[in-house]
């Protein structure tokens, strides 16, 4: 396996576990990063590659093709590259060894933010899918996938940490098959069951108290943490974000509470009634980019009898 040369195309921080595993196994690896990637993530990738362990190049997406010609990798794995790759510009011998790593079940969760939508939609599982590239986003034949239970504590950020570790297993499997000169089995996607989920917009991260059950509110909060610094809510005509909450065991119906969004209790957290008569306990707020523990929320006007709005 050491003779194999691996190319990684990513400017996302979640490529680091894969890079670390490849370096630890003494596999020759190089990285191309889109200079348009998030600067915070890019700086982490640069820092990892900087000691000289991993050749690193970043630039305009068009430079990707020149990087391929220069590095001549045997396998290429793409993680979080936002641009559709022109397969006509890919060397013939590499077209069947160019893989996209997608953090969602395919074809049901195509699109740039699959983890967000899986969590927001209350999916019971999270999936890593490795597939060949095609002329459409996330539509190529599937080479490897692994599904795991979505634990209730997993946010958008912690889910990415978990899935980035699972990626190492999938890439290791593909490399082992190639090293042993075994053919990889492929599975075509059923386009009749495909759904493309766009990048979240403001309306997608807004808590609608009159229309959302307690579990839906909590799932949205998890799906927005940390990238959006919480799910958006309004309170007394000001906008804030909720960073953490959980569904409680008691119900608003038992307390004869009918109104969704009503703060029932502000001691040691904020207990808020939801549409389905369940109660959520909010533990952390984000007000003007200041994180406020909910046990202190009453000091900022969040008191029993007040309402959150959409």
Q: Mind listing the domains of the chain with CATH numbers?
A: 5-193 (3.40.50.170), 202-309 (3.10.25.10)
Which pair of tokens denotes residue 272?
């808020």
Predicted TM-score (pTM) of the model is 0.93
Report d(CA 287, CA 239) in Å as an integer.
8
| pLDDT for res 26 | 92
**String of DSSP letters for 90-137:** S-GGGGGGEEEEESS-TTTTBSS-HHHHHHHTT-SEEEEEEEE--SST
Strands (E) in 203-277, as ranges, are 231-235, 238-251, 263-265, 270-273
Residue with tokens 């959409």: 310
Strands 270-273 and 278-287: antiparallel
User: For residue 86, how many other CB atoms are within 10 A of its CB?
Assistant: 11
Q: What is the pLDDT along the chain (310 residues), one digit of tens a residue?
A: 447 999 999 999 999 999 999 999 999 999 999 888 788 899 999 999 997 779 999 999 899 999 999 999 999 999 988 889 999 999 888 989 999 999 999 999 999 999 999 999 999 999 999 999 999 999 999 999 999 999 999 999 999 999 999 999 999 999 999 999 899 999 999 999 999 999 999 999 999 999 999 999 999 999 999 999 999 999 988 999 999 999 997 776 667 677 899 999 998 889 999 999 999 999 999 999 999 999 999 999 999 999 998 5
Strands (E) in 50-104, as ranges, are 56-59, 75-78, 98-102
CA angle, 81 as apex, 146 and 138 as ends, to 5°? 50
| pLDDT for res 93 | 87
């Amino acid at each position: 396996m050491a003779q194999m040369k691996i190319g990684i195309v990513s400017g996302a921080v979640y490529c680091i576990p894969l890079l670390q595993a490849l370096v630890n196994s003494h596999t020759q690896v190089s990285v191309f990063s889109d200079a348009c990637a998030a600067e915070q993530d890019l700086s982490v990738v640069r820092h990892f590659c900087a000691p000289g362990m991993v050749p690193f190049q970043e630039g305009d997406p068009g430079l990707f093709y020149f990087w391929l010609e220069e590095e001549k990798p045997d396998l290429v794995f793409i993680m979080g590259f936002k641009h559709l790759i022109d397969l006509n510009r890919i060397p013939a011998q590499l077209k069947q060894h160019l893989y996209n790593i997608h953090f969602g079940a395919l074809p049901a969760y195509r699109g740039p933010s699959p983890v967000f939508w899986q969590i927001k939609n209350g999916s019971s599982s999270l999936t890593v899918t490795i597939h060949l590239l095609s002329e459409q986003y996330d539509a190529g034949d599937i080479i490897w996938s692994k599904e795991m239970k979505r634990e209730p504590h997993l946010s958008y950020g912690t889910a990415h940490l978990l899935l980035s570790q699972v990626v190492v297993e999938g890439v290791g499997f593909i490399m082992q098959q190639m090293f042993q000169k075994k053919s990889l089995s492929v599975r075509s996607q059923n386009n009749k069951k495909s759904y493309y989920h766009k990048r979240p917009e403001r309306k997608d991260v807004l808590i609608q108290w009159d229309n959302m059950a307690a579990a839906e509110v909590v799932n949205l909060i998890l799906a927005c943490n940390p990238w959006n610094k919480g799910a958006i809510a309004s309170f007394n005509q000001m906008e804030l974000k909720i960073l953490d909450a959980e569904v409680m065991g008691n119900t608003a119906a038992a307390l004869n509470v009918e109104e969704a969004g009503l703060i029932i209790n502000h001691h040691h957290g904020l207990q808020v009634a939801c549409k389905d008569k369940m109660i959520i306990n909010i533990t952390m707020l984000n007000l003007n980019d200041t994180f406020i523990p909910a046990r202190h929320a009453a000091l900022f006007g969040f008191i029993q009898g007040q309402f959150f709005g959409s």
